[in-house]
Chain A
Amino acid sequence: KNQVEQSPQSLIILEGKNCTLQCNYTVSPFSNLRWYKQDTGRGPVSLTIMTFSENTKSNGRYTATLDADTKQSSLHITASQLSDSASYICVVAGGYQKVTFGTGTKLQVIP
């Protein structure tokens, strides 16, 4: 069964600090892995998309890594800001229209 597991479920960090969110998946075959940011009461917004051959991809203060061998991905947030408070969702696309969503990590950045 295709699964995407994220950890931690929730995280509180001080403004300005860095943090790393984890994503482990068992989706097969693998097409791509995406990280989305979902603000409370809003739809998810794409941060990065990574294919099998990509190890690292950055989008501003967000850096995603992918290890296709161990089926793990991480999202690193540098110098966190209050606006980073949101849920971060890992999404893995497999075969045709087979997309599996993780349950997300809820991040709260406090002053």
Chain B
Amino acid sequence: NAGVTQTPKFRILKIGQSMTLQCTQDMNHNYMYWYRQDPGMGLKLIYYSVGAGITDKGEVPNGYNVSRSTTEDFPLRLELAAPSQTSVYFCASSYSQGLEAFFGQGTRLTVV
């Protein structure tokens, strides 16, 4: 059982470049989330989705976009990378709000 899978694990981007962080889950969870974790800080919610076709902004959505065309996949798009987006990004999923969230292993992104 793979759980939540994120790719890539590491990436270095130049300022202004774009990229997509991939996230897929095989647990048939309705809820999916994207978080960023900066050094010494708690995780911050970027975007979330309560089901296919439905997405909403979290606490820190600026500079990011998401889509949810299927239950399994929830990609995160960075259009114009900025140094402030250097962080570790975690995707998570849960069956329902308030239930246990399962996290992927993270993507460490550096923007230079």
Interface string of A3-44 (1 = CB under 8 A from B): 010000000000000000000000000011010000001111
| Chain B residues within an 8 Å CB radius of A45 | 103
Task: Number of B interface residues at 8 Å Cβ cutoff, please give it.
Answer: 23
Question: Does A63 lie at the interface of the complex (its beta carbon under 8 Å from any beta carbon of B)?
Answer: no
Assess whether A43 is in contact with B105, with CB atoms less than 8 Å apart: yes
CA distance A4 to B66 in the complex (A): 27
Assess whether B42 is in contact with A101, with CB atoms less than 8 Å apart: yes
- Closest Cβ neighbor of B43 among chain A residues: A101
| Chain B residues within an 8 Å CB radius of A104 | 42
Q: Which residues of A contact B (CB under 8 A)?
A: 4, 31-32, 34, 41-46, 49, 89, 93, 96-97, 99-104
Q: Which residues of B contact A (CB under 8 A)?
A: 4, 35, 40-45, 48, 56, 58, 90, 92, 97-106
| Closest 6 pairs between A and B when the two form their complex, measured CB to CB | A43-B103, A101-B42, A101-B43, A46-B100, A103-B42, A44-B103
